[in-house]
Structure 1
Amino acid sequence: MEEAKTIASDELLMEQLQNRNWDEFWLRLMSRCFWILRKRYGVRWNNNELKEFSRDIISEVISKIFVEKERHWYIDSYPDFEKFIISAIDSHINNTLKKKKSETSIGDSEFILDQNEVEQNVQEIVIAQELRQQIYEELESVGAEDDELLIFECLADGIIKPDDIRTELGMSESDFHNGWRRFKRKRKVIQEKIAAYGY
């Protein structure tokens, strides 16, 4: 007989709402969504599409946990709330992408590309994507934190002004300043990778 699982009480859930810095927590959840979408599912949407999708996913999961009470926090399986909500987000991303895929027919106009244009640009696109991926992995390997990786993603998407990046990511001035300063220290990693590709 399967052992009954303990569901977190409303009081315990309220503690998570009241005693957590949600600005910082939201940024970590957004970073996690970005990572899951790019690394696990190979999504290549632009930064705005990634942000919109991630925000929707996080909002829906939070609503299912705190408002609709459809998603239960089994504290035996996940003693740590953050690990629980990340698992819930991971699952919701998977289900949402599967649903989107099943709803998208092959003949949808947005997926029809001009063959000549594809043939002319495919090599440049592949090189750019490979370079972007390698720089991302290099930054991770030298200890870049989530905010630094998000800054890099913005730069890679063509958002280059610091104020525009901060606005895009919804970061406070102090958080962005700290992340930008740490990111700039790692410029050598980026410069070496770009040089290796002959740019």
Structure 2
Amino acid sequence: MGRSSAEQAQQNRARIVEGASRLFRERGVEAVSVAEIMAAVEMTVGGFYKHFASKEALVEEAAGRAFEDAGALWDHRLRAGDQTSAALRAKLVAQYLWPRPGRQCPIIAFAPHAAGEAATLRETYGTGTGALLERFFNTPGNEADLAQADPRTLLVFAAMVGARVMGEAAGDAPWVEVLKQAVADEAERQAGWGATG
């Protein structure tokens, strides 16, 4: 019975982390309460404190989970098929810039909280974002140290994230689409698909 209880506790904790990760990415850390998280996973607020000392402790774990999930997704997309590294990146850029609703990138979702007073989250955020950057430039057949990465590839990564941030903040303003398209075009140009220049 003890083993079953321990397994159930692990499953409950995992449900809380997963639910929090989803809600934080959808609405932002500050906009989600512990009560809302627990309601979303159909558990009581009192049960929260059996698993976490504070909301901050949950935020850190949920952010780590979000970065792991994003990393697995990026690995899948950046290692699919036998295309060139630049072609795989161009596909990821296109998918990243025009995401499905509710699929918030952890780089964007957790940035405001990590930039604030949350020093513990800052380390998790830095590690997670750095890992996604490494995946972006370090595709199969293109393994290199970040210091040797093509600066154009790094600029596409930064522009991709920046364009999506502005797009989410400004909505469907015409200039947002122009900006996103410019980033996608540059990724395609690097892949040899798009316009020359």
TM-score, L = length of structure 1: 0.28
TM-score, L = length of structure 2: 0.28
